[in-house]
Amino acid sequence: MPKPNRFGGPASHARAGARGSLDPYAQARETLARELGYTRKTHGGRLRVALCFPNTYFVGMSNLGLQTTYKLFNADDRIVCERVFLPAKQELAALISGRAPLVTLETQTPVRDFDVFAFSVSFEWDYANVLTMLKLAGLQPRANRRHHRDPLIVIGGAVTFVNPEPLAPFADVIAAGEAERLVPALADAWFAEPHREALLNRLSTENGFYVPSLYEPVYDGPGRIAAITPRAGSGALPIALAERAVLD
């Protein structure tokens, strides 16, 4: 019989899914029971981050970027970070039909109850899964249709280094840089700025953060963008400077 690895092997997880109910709370508990090395903290007084890899548990737990980001968030005592993954196909259908909430592994808390819903996106083919995860969490996919009381949607990962624009309409914040620098900057900004608008304005002045709502595209002919410029009075970094800061 194959033994589970440090975070629960695929064979053991598959057996759990086959014999267990499709209750998302039970599924999360069964997955967690086969793990070693996860972090669980109390939520009170902390910045609550639901960290999502928009693919299955097996793919996500093989990703070093996700592992590093999870560790960095939880290394800060001001932050509690819990994971969430794209449900397997059978579970996904049950969640959609049953309108069950999307919950985290560590405490089975609904994602929409967190302060931040952060995505680590490594592959372009997971773009559609980002939208699926937002819908499963009960959130509007487009940023301009969400409420200020909804979780802050932060999208980072390898794809943001190449071209963040395909995901920009769905993100409150794009984090394009090394997590070692961006995680503490995000936490500092969160605790310094109690209001969403002030928080976004502050992040837009920080190297490595791009707040799409604070920029305007400038078109040069039909359908062609010549430049993306900060909205008047936003204080956001010019795109060229922001890109150079990320690459430095």
Buried b / exposed e along 164-184 (16+ C-beta atoms within 10 A): beebbebbbbbbbbebeebbb
Residue 94 per-residue DSSP state: H
- Which of 72-76, 148-152, 215-219 is predicted least confidently? 215-219
Looking at the domain assignment, is residue 74 inside a domain? yes
**pLDDT class for 64, splitting at 50, 70, 90?**
very high
**pLDDT class for 10, splitting at 50, 70, 90?**
very low
Looking at the domain assignment, is residue 127 inside a domain? yes
Measured CA to CA, the distance from residue 85 to residue 59 in angstroms comes to: 9
**Residue 9 predicted with pLDDT over 80:** no
Q: Which two tokens stand for residue 190?
A: 């969160």
**pLDDT class for 88, splitting at 50, 70, 90?**
confident
Looking at the 3D structure of the chain, how many domains does it have? 1
Answer whether 100's CB lies under 8 Å from 94's CB: yes
**Residue 8 predicted with pLDDT over 50:** no
Looking at the domain assignment, is residue 185 inside a domain? yes
Answer whether 139's CB lies under 8 Å from 150's CB: yes
Residue 114 per-residue DSSP state: S
Please, which residues have CB within 8 angstroms of residue 223's CB and are 6 or more apart in sequence?
none
Q: What pLDDT does residue 234 have?
A: 79
SS3 169: helix
Which position has the higher pLDDT, 208 or 228? 208
Measured CA to CA, the distance from residue 49 to residue 86 in angstroms comes to: 17
Region 77-101: what's the mean pLDDT?
Answer: 87
CA 158 to chain centre: 13
**pLDDT class for 77, splitting at 50, 70, 90?**
very high
> In DSSP terms, which residues pair with 47 in a beta bridge?
79
Answer whether 117's CB lies under 8 Å from 109's CB: no
Region 151-172: what's the mean pLDDT?
Answer: 93
CATH of the domain at 58: 3.40.50.280
Looking at the domain assignment, is residue 12 inside a domain? no
**Residue 47 predicted with pLDDT over 90:** yes
Looking at the domain assignment, is residue 200 inside a domain? yes
Tens digits of per-residue pLDDT, 182-205?
999 999 999 999 899 999 999 999
Determine the structural domain holding residue 126 and report its residue range: 41-208
Looking at the domain assignment, is residue 1 inside a domain? no
Looking at the domain assignment, is residue 221 inside a domain? no
Tens digits of per-residue pLDDT, 134-159?
999 999 999 999 999 999 999 999 99
Provide the percentage of residues in the chain whose pLDDT is more than 70. 87
**Residue 227 predicted with pLDDT over 60:** yes
pTM: 0.85
**pLDDT class for 50, splitting at 50, 70, 90?**
very high
Q: Is 106 exposed, middle or buried (0-12, 13-18, 19+ CB in 10 A)?
A: buried
Q: What pLDDT does residue 222 have?
A: 73
Looking at the domain assignment, is residue 78 inside a domain? yes
**pLDDT class for 240, splitting at 50, 70, 90?**
low
- What mean pLDDT, rounded, does the chain reach? 86
Region 123-139: what's the mean pLDDT?
Answer: 95
Region 22-47: what's the mean pLDDT?
Answer: 91
